[in-house]
A and B are shown apart, each in its own frame.
Chain A
Amino acid sequence: MSLSQPTRFFKAVAILVLLLWTAAVLYPLLWTLLSALKDNPQFLTNKPWSLPETPLHWNHFSYVWKTYHFGDYFLNSVYVTVISSVLAILLSATTAYVFARFEFKGSQAMYFVYISAMMIPLILGLVPLFFLLNDFHLINKLNGLVVVYTAWALPFGVFVLFGFFKTLPKELEEASYMDGAGFFRTFFQIMLPMARSGIVSIAIMNALSNWNEYIMGTIFINEPAKYTLPVGIAIMQAEMQYRTEWGPLFAGLLISMVPVILVYILFQRQIAEGITAGAVK
């Protein structure tokens, strides 16, 4: 089918704009890598978009990893991210399943409480949360972050997985009960694997937001050895006023971005599913 004249013009404009935006989102990644390989004089005298001069300063990566303790921050981030994502999935899948399949007094009210919590600004709870964690001796502990990240991920997890379990046919469970399986076995052996795609989406979205989280990380952790990557980067950026090390700073950014982008490319489909599951329905 041939397109009419004005449409062809619109199409050309649209392609141009799309390409511009592609540059706007991809160029910063490339630019961060190139800048990580520059030393200070290159930042001060050359244009920001100029290519790094040889020799390339690959040593900036090992430098931030060791001297700026990004190696420790990286491990801290991995720990917090993995544990809290797994915990949140376990806790929200179990509750979502009960809401989706079992009627009992107050079940609707309880579900409503979870859903309403998604509307509440997280920042309202920050002050009391600080003192609560303090009472539990969880300030300056990675497990403190684990607990908080897990809790804050629950409403969204319950909401999306509730929808997921609802769509599974009831015959699955009935057949399992006929075979003499109990409630627990039916859930873990039949229903949980059936909801795999929803669970993977939620787990990845939780992991991404936990990996990137900054505010709670900076409020609840004040001990440098326990910093997560985002907190470490923010601190390093603040120190730039006193000692300027641009190259290593951008190397640090890259250390934080690379795992996220790898996970994103690997699980692109599940992430897109997670988004549409949460919002389109």
Chain B
Amino acid sequence: MSRQAQRKIFIFTFLIPTFLFFGIFTLYPISKGMYISLFDWSGSSEHMTFIGLDNFKEIFRDPIVWTAVGNDYFLVLGKVIGIVLLATFFAVAVTRFRIRGQQFFRIAFFIPNIISAVVVGVLWRFVYNPNIGFLNSFLSLFTKEQIRIPWLGEEATALWSILWPSIWAGVGFYFLLLVASILSIPPSLYEAAEIDGASQCRQFWTLTLPLIWEQVKVSILHIVMTTLNGSFVMVLLMTEGGPDNSTQVLGSYLYQMGFRQFHMGFAAALGVIILILSLITTVILQRVLRRDAIEYS
């Protein structure tokens, strides 16, 4: 067999199985999802009625969708601020403040990231448990009467109560990312800054932050995408969208409409909306966060 033929066979055998898997179980469901969004379909019956954009019209009229979009962006904003601030602070502290135990902090802080969302959900639900939970028991130390606030059961507190575990479980990953980024800055730059008498604070603003900005940006975009696409897992585990749909996000509403109420076309259309929102948001953010890359030579 000629070398050329061997090469062809090799390329095909290495590409085809992977692409079949990927095509059948990723590309096909995604495109089928967009297709189904144009139909009225309960899933079980053979009848799929083409209704054009009616699902989308229904979505725009549905007040729960608007609540869900608001909640999605509340979680995005809360997680971006909380995670980026904490991760940056921790990363600067263990690298630039000459604090010992860098390796220990790196190992410890990542632990929440490797634990299943289900476990995180159960643990935090116990924290918020109105009768025997951590939070109320702690607060009751300072009051005469036993406090019994149903943190996850009241509209005023439920969404905030979902935000904290999401931040807690997210920081470690971005912390590791930023530590790696700061460690890759040449130490000579800091030495020069010290000789010039720049304070730690000044070194952070003029040296560290500009040089890790690329990673901060990546982190922000990554948080935004994973939140819009994945925060529904936490919502389902903590409140199932309640009370009274007040903590619903688009993903959890999709889950409920699709797999509880068998409103498949509507659910698929919600999926399309999530895709569009996450694309638009990342494109806009990429523009907003653009800042000329600074290179010190």
Contacts and interface: CB of A to CB of B under 8 A. Distances in A.
Nearest to B264: A127
A168 interface: no
B116 A127 contact: no
Nearest to B215: A280
Contact of A132 (B28, B229, B236): B28
Interface of B: 6-7, 10-11, 13-15, 17-19, 21-22, 24-30, 32-34, 36, 43, 86, 89-90, 93-94, 97-99, 105-112, 114-119, 121-123, 125-126, 131-134, 137, 168, 171-173, 176-177, 180-181, 184, 194, 199-201, 215, 218-219, 222, 225, 228-230, 232-233, 236-237, 251, 254-255, 258-259, 264, 267-268, 271-272, 274-275, 278-279, 282
Contacts of B22: 114, 117, 151, 154-155
Nearest to B125: A237
Contact of A276 (B18, B30, B177, B229): B177
Given A17-B93, A25-B168, A114-B22, 12 more contacts: A10-B97, A18-B94, A22-B109, A32-B123, A47-B137, A121-B228, A126-B254, A147-B21, A148-B25, A183-B6, A260-B116, A275-B180
A280 B181 contact: yes
Given A17-B93, A120-B275, A122-B229, A260 B108 contact: no
Contacts of A1: 194
A172 interface: no
A272 B29 contact: no
A132 B40 CA distance: 18
A25 B115 CA distance: 11
Contacts of B184: 280
B106 A272 contact: yes
Given A11-B99, A126-B271, A154-B18, A102 B7 contact: yes
A55 interface: no
B21 A233 contact: no
A212 B117 contact: yes
Interface string A243-281: 000100100010011001100110010011001100110
Contacts of A154: 18, 21-22, 26
Nearest to A15: B99
Given A18-B90, A24-B168, A127-B271, A233 B119 contact: yes
A264 B18 contact: no
A127 B222 CA distance: 25
B36 A124 contact: no
Nearest to B111: A25
Given A104-B11, A132-B25, A25 B132 contact: no
